[in-house]
C-alpha cells in the first residue's frame, strides 16, 4: 500500500498541474471502487477552480473554490498518471477507472488493478469532522504540529510495542510498515520495545529519524513495491536504500556482524537487528 512518501510524491506532481485550473470532464469507467463513486461527482466538480492540492496522512485532498474537497485514497495498488493531451498517451488499461480532463488540456488517469482505492466528496469545512480525519494524529513532517516533547507525550502512556505504536494513525499520521521498520533501525530502537519505556531524549531521536526516512523517501520518489509508480511513469527508488526492510539474513550495516531478523507483528512483517536495536 502506498505510504506517506508515495502519496506525497503524487501530491507534489499534481499540485502544479491542477492548482488554479479546473476539470472540463470526469469520466467514470465503473460505478464503484472500494465505495460507490459520488453520484454527482462531475456535476459538483467540473468547471470549478481548484484552489489547492494537499495531503493528509495517506490521503490526497483536492480543494475546490465551491467549498468542496475531493478525498482520494490510492488503496493497495492505485496509480495516478499525468499526461498532456497533445502528447502520445500511454496505452490504456482495463484498470483505468477514472479519467479527468483539465481546463489546460491535461489528462489525469486513476489506475487501480485491485480497486481498494476510492474517491469521496466532502464540504471542505466539514472534512476534519469526518472519520478518519477526526482521529488522525499530527503529521510527522509538520514541525508546527509535532516536536520531541509532544511526540513523547503521545506515546508515553502506551504499552504497545514501538512498531505497533508507530502504525497507529491516531498517534502519528501516515507512517506505514516499511518506514516504521526503517526509522526504528536508524534510531537504534527495538520494534518490540514498549512505547512507554522511551525517555524524552529517545523519543526525540526516533522522531528525527522518522522525519529523515520520510524525507529521503520523498526525495527518491517513494518505494517501488509491487505496483507503485510515480505519476510520470518512473519508479520510485527508495527501496534501493532500505537498511532493514526486506533485508532478512543480510548483515546489519550498523554492526556489520549480526543478520537482520524478520518477525510478524500484528500480521505485518518487521525487520530489525536484535543486537543493535534495544
2 catalytic per annotation: yes
Measured between alpha carbons, how far is 174 from 167 in angstroms, rounded to an integer?
8
- Picking from 205, 135, 129, 139, the residue whose alpha carbon sits closest to that of residue 172 is 139
Measured between alpha carbons, how far is 25 from 36 in angstroms, rounded to an integer?
19
3 catalytic per annotation: yes
Candidate list 55, 56, 58, 107, residue with the active-site label: 58
Measured between alpha carbons, how far is 194 from 162 in angstroms, rounded to an integer?
6
Three-class DSSP category at 165: helix
Measured between alpha carbons, how far is 270 from 261 in angstroms, rounded to an integer?
8
Candidate list 114, 156, 193, 268, residue with the active-site label: 268
Measured between alpha carbons, how far is 211 from 10 in angstroms, rounded to an integer?
18
Q: Determine whether 109 is exposed, middle or buried from the number of CB atoms within 10 Å of its CB (0-12, 13-18, 19+).
A: buried
DSSP 275: T
**What does 171-189 look like in DSSP terms, one character per residue?**
TSSS--HHHHHHHHHHTT-
Candidate list 2, 5, 38, 231, residue with the active-site label: 2
Candidate list 3, 8, 182, 202, residue with the active-site label: 3
Place of cell 485532498: 61
Measured between alpha carbons, how far is 226 from 229 in angstroms, rounded to an integer?
9
132 catalytic per annotation: no
Positions annotated as catalytic residues are 2-3, 58, 268
Amino acid at each position: 500500500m502506498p505510504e506517506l512518501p508515495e502519496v506525497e510524491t503524487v501530491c507534489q506532481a499534481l499540485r502544479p498541474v491542477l492548482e488554479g485550473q479546473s476539470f472540463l470532464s470526469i469520466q467514470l469507467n465503473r460505478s464503484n471502487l472500494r465505495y460507490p463513486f459520488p453520484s454527482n461527482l462531475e456535476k459538483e466538480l467540473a468547471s470549478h477552480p481548484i484552489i489547492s492540492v494537499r495531503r493528509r496522512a495517506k490521503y490526497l485532498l483536492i480543494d475546490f473554490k465551491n467549498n468542496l474537497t475531493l478525498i482520494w485514497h490510492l488503496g493497495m495498488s492505485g496509480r495516478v498518471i499525468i499526461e498532456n493531451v497533445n502528447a502520445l498517451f500511454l496505452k490504456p488499461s482495463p484498470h483505468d477507472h477514472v479519467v479527468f480532463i483539465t481546463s489546460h488540456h491535461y489528462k489525469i488517469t486513476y489506475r487501480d488493478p485491485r480497486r481498494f482505492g476510492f474517491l469521496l466528496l466532502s464540504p471542505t469545512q466539514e472534512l476534519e469532522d469526518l472519520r478518519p480525519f477526526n482521529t488522525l494524529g499530527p503529521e510527522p513532517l509538520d514541525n508546527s504540529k509535532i516536536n520531541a516533547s509532544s511526540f513523547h507525550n503521545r506515546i508515553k502512556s502506551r504499552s504497545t510495542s514501538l512498531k505497533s505504536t508507530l502504525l497507529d494513525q491516531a498517534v502519528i499520521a501516515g507512517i506505514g510498515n516499511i518506514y516504521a521498520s526503517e526509522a526504528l533501525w536508524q534510531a537504534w530502537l527495538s520494534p518490540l520495545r514498549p512505547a512507554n519505556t522511551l525517555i524524552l531524549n529517545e523519543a526525540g531521536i526516533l522522531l528525527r529519524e522518522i522525519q529523515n526516512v520520510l524525507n529521503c523517501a520523498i526525495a527518491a520518489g517513494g518505494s517501488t513495491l509491487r505496483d507503485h509508480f510515480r505519476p510520470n511513469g518512473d519508479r520510485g527508488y527508495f527501496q534501493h536504500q532500505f537498511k532493514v526492510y526486506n533485508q532478512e539474513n543480510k548483515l546489519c550495516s550498523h554492526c556489520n556482524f549480526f543478520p537482520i531478523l524478520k518477525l510478524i507483528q500484528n500480521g505485518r512483517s518487521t525487520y530489525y537487528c536484535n543486537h543493535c536495536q534495544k
